[in-house]
Structure 1
Amino acid sequence: MAGNLLKGFVRTQNFKCMVKIRLYSSGTSTIDDKEVVHFKKFVSYWWDEFGEFKPLHSMNKIRIPWIRDCILANNEMKDASLPLKGYSVLDVGCGGGILSEPLSRIGADVTGLDANEDLIKAAKAHAELTKANVNYVASSVEDHARENFEKYDAVVSSEVIEHVTQKEEFVKACVECLKPNGSIFFTTISKTKYASFLAIYLGENVIKGIPKGTHHYEKFITPHELQRILEKNNCRTDVVHGTIYNFLTNTWSWWFNSDFTYVLKATKLDKQNC
């Protein structure tokens, strides 16, 4: 009788524990399974500079110099040929490595992080071909943050947050990976009707320069909202600048407003100096 009661108690406790684990996992994970499934369709096209993701390849012409110059603005450049040598960078939502590889080539110690295991496999395969020195990790950013607290000099999330539902949790985990006084970078689409028209109606349905179903208006975020979330996580926004993409010429340019797409750079404040 006592043995049966004990077994029943253990089963009950195990069940409660499993429920807690499931609730915790679903409540804290910023991974959107629908987004993972969507991007799995395009793994083989990731490194085609004139294919489905040519806007991301083209964006490197402005985002890499911007990231480099912002990191070096208040830091020493030790090697002109490798300007980011000595700086650790986390590329959150790295996909197949379109941004990670070029950052590593200018000296950065890059960790490319993505929840999509297929994309990480593609990134590793391409890195082997090009001899790129990038540490690729298949993980959510919140799981990565638990074991890499305040590890990186810079954190980059480029064209990612517009695919995230739980934005507050996502930004919080990104900031947790960043050292005090380190820089965090975002590039994304603003939540405006103008941006929706250009990115979704024109880009995906008319010109078809972006895979259909890639973007959803409700997931876009304005600069002010992103800045508010960063402030909650002890970060000071330093730069917000508009950008624009020309679908016909496949070129990116700096723009006078942030109604379409924008870049944002913030600094994680040292709590002792707040």
Structure 2
Amino acid sequence: HSSVDPKEMKKFQLLAHKWWDEEGDYSALHSMNDIRVPFIRDTLLNMSSNYHLGSPLSGIKILDVGCGGGLLSEPLGRLGASVTGIDPLEDNIRTAEQHKSFDPVLAKRIQYKASSLEEIVEESMETFDVIVASEVVEHVADLEMFIKCCSQVLKPEGSLFITTINKTQLSYILGIVVAEKIVGIVPEGTHEWEKFVPPEELQRLLESHGFSVQAVNGMLYNPLTGSWSWMESTSINYAMHAVKSGAEGRSSPTESLSEMESEQRSATAGTSV
């Protein structure tokens, strides 16, 4: 039993060599880096007090699930993170390895594996500080199993970042009819509306596996400018940040977070209370 969907594998197999063509089939994912990379970076910096100028994510172990050709792994590696990128398609991993080889700095910071998430669970229990699954959950065969595996490989109080597409009439019209059939921003057949995930459902699944959702932000793609921006509404695309609850014995994820916050507050307040 696997969270990998063979039909999805076939679709991406055909495009494996096109990941780094910024004007090609993956152009929208290239420009998504303009908002998803700062979202991940700034959220993590706000949670930590010790970071290094120049490589702010230094010392942070990130798992990039469904990394494709490495479009998100590379900028996270350049920010200093130690990144493991996994993807079930060997052709995607070959593309990612080849592109990484152009930058000697990344050779030390990123490692890629042709693997599904559940295949690395046993060797990687509570290994990672951060998991990113960007534009992935709408392609998996078993979302609940996927979330469970994320929880298993993430350290207590670790962060999970997800970007995906909501399941609304608007997302069908814009995400499939317009994006695939009319404008051709993404190849036809890339998405199946039935597999889109509403944020409420994703939040419920996360909370049932020991996560506390911290932020849900709407995202909007403008095909005319080829750029992304944040927006209030989550009716099309959205980004979610969730934190895994701390050590066993804590009553709830939110409680453990408020405990941490009050500890931090009293520590920073010191004698001035």
Question: Do these two structures clear the TM 0.5 threshold for a shared fold by scoring above it?
Answer: yes
- The alignment partner of 1:181 has SS state of strand
C-alpha distance in structure 2 between counterparts of 1:246 and 1:162, whole Å: 21
C-alpha distance in structure 2 between counterparts of 1:198 and 1:149, whole Å: 39
Q: Which is higher, the Rg of structure 1 or of structure 2?
A: 1
Q: Is 1:76 paired with 2:49?
A: yes
Aligned 1:65-214 pairs, distance under 5 A: 65-131=38-104, 132=106, 133-214=109-190
Shift in Å, 1:43 = 1.4
Moved over 4 A (4+): none
Among candidates 238, 245, 250, match of residue 273 of structure 1: 250
Q: Which amino acid aligns with 1:136?
A: Y
Q: Does the aligned pair in 2 maintain the 1:77–1:84 contact within 8 Å?
A: no
Shift in Å, 1:203 = 0.2
- The alignment partner of 1:78 has SS state of coil
Q: Which amino acid aligns with 1:130?
A: D
Q: Does the aligned pair in 1 maintain the 2:127–2:155 contact within 8 Å?
A: yes
Shift in Å, 1:252 = 0.3
- The alignment partner of 1:156 has SS state of strand
C-alpha distance in structure 2 between counterparts of 1:111 and 1:144, whole Å: 11
Q: What do you get for the CA RMSD once the two structures are aligned?
A: 0.9
C-alpha distance in structure 1 between counterparts of 2:69 and 2:50, whole Å: 28
- The alignment partner of 2:203 has SS state of helix
Shift in Å, 1:75 = 1.1
1:42 match: 15
Q: Does the aligned pair in 1 maintain the 2:45–2:51 contact within 8 Å?
A: no
C-alpha distance in structure 1 between counterparts of 2:174 and 2:50, whole Å: 39
C-alpha distance in structure 2 between counterparts of 1:165 and 1:249, whole Å: 33
- The alignment partner of 1:226 has SS state of helix
C-alpha distance in structure 2 between counterparts of 1:77 and 1:99, whole Å: 23
Structure 2, gaps ≥5 residues long: 252-273
C-alpha distance in structure 2 between counterparts of 1:240 and 1:262, whole Å: 7
TM (norm. structure 1) is: 0.88
Q: Does the aligned pair in 2 maintain the 1:152–1:178 contact within 8 Å?
A: yes
- The alignment partner of 2:62 has SS state of strand
C-alpha distance in structure 2 between counterparts of 1:211 and 1:160, whole Å: 16
C-alpha distance in structure 2 between counterparts of 1:230 and 1:173, whole Å: 11
- The alignment partner of 1:273 has SS state of coil
Shift in Å, 1:175 = 1.6
Percent of aligned positions with the same letter in both sequences?
44
Q: Is 1:251 paired with 2:224?
A: no
Q: Does the aligned pair in 2 maintain the 1:242–1:261 contact within 8 Å?
A: yes
C-alpha distance in structure 1 between counterparts of 2:83 and 2:100, whole Å: 12
Q: Which amino acid aligns with 1:269?
A: S
Equivalent residue pairs, number: 247
Q: Does the aligned pair in 1 maintain the 2:85–2:113 contact within 8 Å?
A: yes
- The alignment partner of 1:214 has SS state of coil
Shift in Å, 1:76 = 2.6
Q: Is 1:231 paired with 2:207?
A: yes
